[in-house]
Structure 1
Amino acid sequence: MARLFFALPADNLADAIIRWRDARPWPGQAVPAANLHLTLAFLGEADEKQTRELMQQAAKLHCPPLTIELDACGWFARAKAAWIGPEQWPNELSVFARELQRLGSRLGLGNGEQHYHPHVTLSRKATEAPQDSPAPRFTLLAREFCLYQSVSSEQGVRYEPLARWPLRKRIHP
């Protein structure tokens, strides 16, 4: 079984985001730069057959490339996760995230959560919200999305991309 999720990679911003985070007090346990991503849909534990089906179906999906301003800080109290994310985001992002959640749901995956708030988790086990002054100012140019696998080891958790697909508009005949 593999622990899976869909996300937009933040590779091109990771170093700058980590420098910004580490220059201020930040609650919780820091997430490594290599693990930064903007979550689209959490899927949970999937077997090989479900994983293959996810990959086949995800390859057929369409979403135009997106520009997402990461300009706010926040905290999910229940998950104890401190994050940065957009104050406002393109509707296409919400539609695409919902489509990916439905794809997982059809295969018996996901946590059934309907509320979507895009974010990049910067720390875990955070017992309080981060200070949001000054606010972050990063622009995520999303040109692809990934299916990631969460891999636990003695060195901690790392997120490995299993597949990548370009974000592209639907072409109407």
Structure 2
Amino acid sequence: MPRVFFGLEVPDTVKKRLLALQGPVKGAKWQNRNQLHLTLAFLGTVNEESVPDLCQAAAGVEAPAFELLVAGLHTFGQAERPRNLWAGVSGDEALRDLQQQLASQLAEAGFESGHSGFQPHITIARFRKQPGSVAPLLDEHGDERFGPMPVTEFVLFESTPGHSGSVYTAIERFPLAGPLDETGTHDQ
């Protein structure tokens, strides 16, 4: 049975800047290039037969393409004892609309899409039981802009446990309406 989630892919230019933050922090399990993403809806383990129904529900989402700015470092937990280190996004009203529409479509199809309280983020590191402080990283990079993130589609991913962390494989892609123009706004 596959373990699945819907998410957004992060552009390589942003990934490069996020990966450059990695350093010797006690207990940090840094995400690799292929693990960096923004989760829209986590479904967990589903029956293989349910995947076409998930895809059909997601295909009902009608949202325009938009652009986010990946900016700022944050933690879940205190900076001295974090559970996760993550980058935030700004310009996320369109993102919240997309996530709410997807959650609604999934609910109508009978799927639970994780917990409520959507907090858009890109996990950079997860921490084990005795984490080291990331306060110096937050002091140095807390307000940093990591770059634009055009959102022209969302993806259904399968998450497979691997030796060096989960491996995410795209199952299906769902394009958003219309291209972005060169300024990053939706082309009417």
What TM-score range do you get, normalising by the shorter chain?
Answer: 0.7 to 0.9
Judge conservation of contact 2:61–2:105 (CA < 8 Å) in 1: no
Identity %: 23
1:163 is aligned to 2:164: no
**Pair 1:155–1:29, CA change in 2 (3 A):** closer
The whole-number CA distance in structure 2 between the counterparts of 1:73 and 1:26 is 18
- Which residue in 2 is equivalent to 1:60? 60
Q: Which runs of 5+ in 2 are unaligned?
A: 179-188
Q: TM-score, normalised by structure 1?
A: 0.83
**Pair 1:117–1:129, CA change in 2 (3 A):** farther
Q: Which runs of 5+ in 1 are unaligned?
A: none
1:114 is aligned to 2:122: no
Q: Over residues 63-119 of structure 1, what are the superposed CA-to-partner deviations in whole Å (9 max), with x where a residue is unaligned?
A: 211211111111123992210012x333221121122223333423333x2211111
What amino acid maps onto 1:148 in structure 2?
A: F
Judge conservation of contact 1:84–1:136 (CA < 8 Å) in 2: no
- Which residue in 1 is equivalent to 2:186? none
1:150 is aligned to 2:159: yes
- Which residue in 1 is equivalent to 2:7? 7
- Which residue in 2 is equivalent to 1:70? 70
CA RMSD in angstroms comes to 2.5
**Pair 1:68–1:50, CA change in 2 (3 A):** same
Judge conservation of contact 1:46–1:109 (CA < 8 Å) in 2: no
The whole-number CA distance in structure 2 between the counterparts of 1:39 and 1:149 is 12
**Pair 1:104–1:43, CA change in 2 (3 A):** farther
State which structure, 1 or 2, has the greater radius of gyration over its C-alpha atoms: 2
SS state at 1:77 partner: strand
1:92 is aligned to 2:94: yes
The whole-number CA distance in structure 2 between the counterparts of 1:139 and 1:23 is 24
What amino acid maps onto 2:16 in structure 1?
A: D
- Which residue in 1 is equivalent to 2:19? 18
Judge conservation of contact 1:65–1:167 (CA < 8 Å) in 2: yes
Displacement of 1:42 in angstroms is: 1.1
The whole-number CA distance in structure 1 between the counterparts of 2:23 and 2:161 is 28
* Structure 1, 130-139 or 160-169: larger mean CA deviation: 130-139
Displacement of 1:23 in angstroms is: 6.4
